[in-house]
Homo-oligomer: A and B are copies of this chain.
Amino acid sequence: MNETVDAFHRGGFHVVQPKGTGHRSGIDAMLLASMVNATGPVTVADLGAGAGAAGLAVASRLPQARVLLVERSSLMVDYARKTLDLPHNARLAERVKVLEADVTLTGKARVAAGLADELYDHAIMNPPFNDPGDRSTPDVLKAEAHAMSEGLFESWIKTAGAIVRPGGQLSLISRPQSIADIIAACGRRFGGLEITVVHPRPGEDATRLLVTAIKGSRARLVFRAPLFLHGKEGHGFTAEADDLNNGRMAYARRTTRRR
């Protein structure tokens, strides 16, 4: 078959993913999931969930989490359903639902598609990106791709702002160059941004940002201590990255209070 079954959290759960097409989940999805922190029941919407890696990672680490996987692509929705049907994932499957819906829907169309207002404690997202900086792409296509990417954060974060309860959390992982779009899209919807710059190794440029924010917060933006995935040498993860990648630890916000 043209698919793989990949283990995450050291075998804690598995994800069925297409081979050679679409987005394949890895550490990005695990870092995204790590930003959900809760001691009791928590409802989480995974926007653009793909085959469900991030959402399942939340459900796997947090036994009282209930997760909605929201995905537009019927191909990826099929993989998410295959993922939930794996016998190995049985302990998680009853707390995880799949919704085939476009995250960019608004207003009544969004609600009608199954994304109700202010229902969730937490929205997580790893929005897809194409690469406007690709040197092989003509300038016109670059410009279009960039415009699309700007609109993407605005529409995705607008939906997150609509479906998360007041005081609820948004968590996302992105490329570094999206920072301005993300801050602009949070606007008055989400405040108290906490940004963690992720570097492959000490001394290297960042490859990702982790961003959390609280609906309705007016607290100022902070940059937290950076996260290094690897040490100066070698292929292994740092202890912190390994803990986050394997669901042994939440990457909790510094401040959770709404202010």
Please list the residues of chain A having a beta carbon within 8 angstroms of any beta carbon in chain B.
132-133, 176-177, 179-180, 183-184, 197, 199, 202-206, 209, 219-226, 254
How far is it, in angstroms, between the C-alpha of A132 and the C-alpha of B225 when the chains are bound? Answer: 23
Taking a contact as CB atoms closer than 8 A, the residue among B176, B183, B222 that contacts A223 in the complex is B176
Residue pair A222, B180 in contact (C-beta under 8 Å): no
Per CB-CB distance, the 10 closest pairs between chain A and chain B, nearest first, are: A206-B223, A180-B183, A177-B220, A177-B221, A226-B226, A176-B223, A203-B225, A133-B220, A197-B223, A205-B222
Closest to A209 in B: B223
User: In the complex this chain forms, how many copies of it are found?
Assistant: 2
How far is it, in angstroms, between the C-alpha of A183 and the C-alpha of B184 when the chains are bound? Answer: 11
How far is it, in angstroms, between the C-alpha of A223 and the C-alpha of B211 when the chains are bound? Answer: 14
- CB-CB under 8 A from A180, the residues of chain B are 180, 183-184, 221
- CB-CB under 8 A from A179, the residues of chain B are 179, 183, 221
How far is it, in angstroms, between the C-alpha of A223 and the C-alpha of B226 when the chains are bound? Answer: 11
Name which of A199, A209, A223 has the most chain B CB atoms within 10 A of its CB.
A223
Knowing A133-B220, A205-B254, A254-B205, say if A197 contacts B176 (CB, 8 Å): no
11 A–B contacts from the bound complex (CB under 8 Å)? A177-B221, A177-B222, A179-B179, A180-B221, A197-B226, A199-B223, A199-B225, A205-B222, A205-B224, A205-B254, A206-B223
How far is it, in angstroms, between the C-alpha of A197 and the C-alpha of B220 when the chains are bound? Answer: 16
How far is it, in angstroms, between the C-alpha of A226 and the C-alpha of B195 when the chains are bound? Answer: 13
How far is it, in angstroms, between the C-alpha of A132 and the C-alpha of B221 when the chains are bound? Answer: 12
Knowing A197-B197, A205-B254, A254-B205, say if A222 contacts B183 (CB, 8 Å): no
